[in-house]
Amino acid sequence: MRIFWTLLRRELGTFFLSLTGYVIIAAVSLIVGSTFVMLIHNMGTKPFAMPVTQLFFNSFMYWLLVILVAPAITMRLFALEKASGTFETLMTTAVGDLQVVAAKFSAAVIFYMMTWLPTLAGLVIIQRFTNQPKLDLGAVGGMYLGIFLSGCLFLAVGCLASSLTKSQMVAAVVSLAVGVILFILAYMAQVLPDAATAQTEVLYYFNLFKHMEDFTRGVVDTRTVIFYASATFLCLFLTLRVVESRRWK
Amino acid sequence: MIQVSNLTKRYAGRTAVDDISFTVARGEIVGLLGPNGAGKSTTMRVLSGFMPATSGTVRVAGFDVFHDADETRRRIGYMPENNPLHPEMRVREYLKFRARLKGLGWRKSRERVTTVMEQCGLTDVGRRIIGQLSKGYKQRVGLADALVHEPELIILDEPTIGLDPHQIRSVRALIKSLAGKHTVLISTHILPEVEMMCGRVLIMFDGRVLASDTPENLQRRMAGGSQVIAEIAAPLETLRAVWENLPEVAQFDVSAGEGEFVRCALTPRDGQDLRPLIFHLVRENGWVMRELTRSRHSLEDIYIQVTKPTTEEIE
């Protein structure tokens, strides 16, 4: 456990020691901030029936951000260490494979959640300075849970991609491609008719937009939570296997 | 300390290390010598526990590096090829991070980091960012990292590569100072380095160990082929007759040198030292002698000789 914390601290520190971390934070703040300004502008002065949280995540903006930000955060995790050779020095110390994967993933998730911190300011502003209905804590909590769960999935995909290659570029492109595929699946689930065929049943689970809509209304559907959690664990398990594979004969 | 038996490592379709066996005793400094691609780095990676062997066993301090990885890793300080470091970290911060990864407690790691920084001459650069250090200092950071958990065995893959002569000298001195307290295994393709630092040499070529001995013994073994050069002022024919009648001389070659001096190149029988004999001969005859040297085979000759047949096969 001690080693896990040491690793986590370093991984997290690396985001702030390099320019990448600040670029990601700046980009997210810019996009979220401008979306927020547009939102305020459109709302005008009259109260809205929909919760503000839902309004914001009704746009594709959120998914665009996650799809772009997750590869940017995760591409470095394993690929850079493999390319520079520090993976060798890391794996010949007392660390276990699981500790390495867990620490890198946790650092990515923590950093990702930190990039969303500015949204808190947006919520406070709406609460204090507009005549919108009072924010529902359930909806706010649901929104952050949704951000967390969907972020975990995309970051886990990024971890897996990064563990497979020495090139950060390849890692980024692979996780970006998977992200786009997930996005397209979600889009299909959204636009396809609601006929109860097997395909639409399966597609339902990939309807990321619907998931987020529920979360931002404060509705936490167990099926959705299980979908994100299991997909995340699957990706992390595969990452662990990849890290272990160097010891296979 | 190290027992390698029948170690083989195959990468997809290529055998990097081919059935090698050797042992290293506690406290020895052993040099792994060989051209690029001889399998030195692969051997070291298996020893460090980073990769498994295809077949064969490697034991460090009695523990199998694959099955008792935790036990062996604690006892090994490993610096891989090209000395990879985290360039964005500060020296002290990095060493402390490494010490913690190697399982040292908070207090212990602080203590050890201070000690190895003194030992490696890093005290003045503790606050500097690693990426901005000179290569010599980076190498010392790598060495300090290998030493930080007080390992019994230190494995250094090409520790002096790419350094300038001053830096090489200081890194060598540092490695030499480890003798006795630690067992050290160094790989290199620079011959004088091995002669200077190592108590024993393993010559590797094409995935096999071709020779294993002390540098002196290797030279002695080759001494049969070493020559004695003498320049003596005497009639050429007389000298020729003298060498012919000496049973200790296996082969000779005389040629007229500068002025009245004759240059004689003598090959002794059974690796004998001919020099005292020649001195007495010259004194008895009252000749003048201005040179008497034995051309020793350097490790380089041995190395070339040992690795030659296979090199030609490849070419």
Q: How many domains does chain A have?
A: 1
Map out the domains of chain B as residue ranges. Answer: 2-220, 227-295
pTM of the model: 0.83
The reply to whether A249 falls in a domain is no
The answer, yes or no, to whether residue B225 has pLDDT greater than 60, is: no
Q: What is the ipTM of this complex?
A: 0.85
The mean pLDDT of B216-230, rounded to a whole number, is 69
* Interfacial residues of B (vs A; Cβ cutoff 8 Å): 45, 48-52, 54, 66, 70, 73-74, 76, 78-82, 84-86, 88-89, 97-98, 100-103, 145
Nearest CB to A93 within list B51, B82, B102: B102
Tell me which of B247 and A52 has the higher pLDDT: B247
Instruction: Supply the range of the domain harboring residue A194.
Output: 2-244
Average pLDDT over residues B148-173: 86
Which CATH number fits the domain B227-295, given the four candidates 3.30.465.10, 3.30.70.3100, 2.160.10.10, 3.90.1300.10?
3.30.70.3100
pLDDT for position B315? 42
Q: Is residue A118 part of a domain?
A: yes
**Mean of all residue pLDDT scores within chain B:** 84
Which residue of B70, B84, B98 is in closest CB contact with A84?
A: B84
- In the predicted model, is pLDDT for residue B308 greater than 70? no
Class of domain B2-220 as given by CATH: alpha beta
Q: With CB atoms and an 8 Å threshold, state whether A85 touches B89.
A: no
In a domain, A50, yes or no: yes
B52 → chain A, closest CA residue = A247
Structure confidence at residue B221 (pLDDT): 64
> Has residue A237 got a pLDDT over 90?
yes
pLDDT at B298: 61
- Please state, in angstroms and rounded to a whole number, the distance separating the CA atoms of residues A213 and B230: 98
Please report whether residue A212 resides in a domain: yes
Q: Tens digits of per-residue pLDDT, B38-85?
A: 888 899 999 998 888 888 989 998 888 888 888 888 899 999 988 899
Sheet containing strand B29-33, strands side by side: B76-79, B153-157, B183-188, B29-33, B200-205, B208-213
Of A136-150, B155-169, B215-229, the one with minimum mean pLDDT is B215-229
CB of A17 within 8 Å of a chain B CB? The answer is yes
Contact at CB, B70 and A94, closer than 8 angstroms: yes
User: Residues B3-33: pLDDT tens digits?
Assistant: 898 899 888 888 888 889 999 988 888 988 8
Domain membership of residue A225 (yes or no) is yes
pLDDT at position B276 is 87
Q: What is the pLDDT of residue B223?
A: 54
Query: Does A220 map to a domain?
Result: yes
Instruction: Name which of A7, A94, A95 is nearest B74 (Cβ-Cβ).
Output: A94
Q: pLDDT per residue over A51-74, tens digit each?
A: 766 767 766 778 888 999 999 999
H helix count then E strand count, chain A: 12, 0
Tell whether A93 lies on the interface with B, counting CB pairs under 8 A: yes
> Is residue A204 in a domain?
yes
Closest CB to A94 among B73, B79, B89: B73
- In order of A111, A118, A196, A233, the CA distances from A122 in angstroms are 19, 7, 40, 32
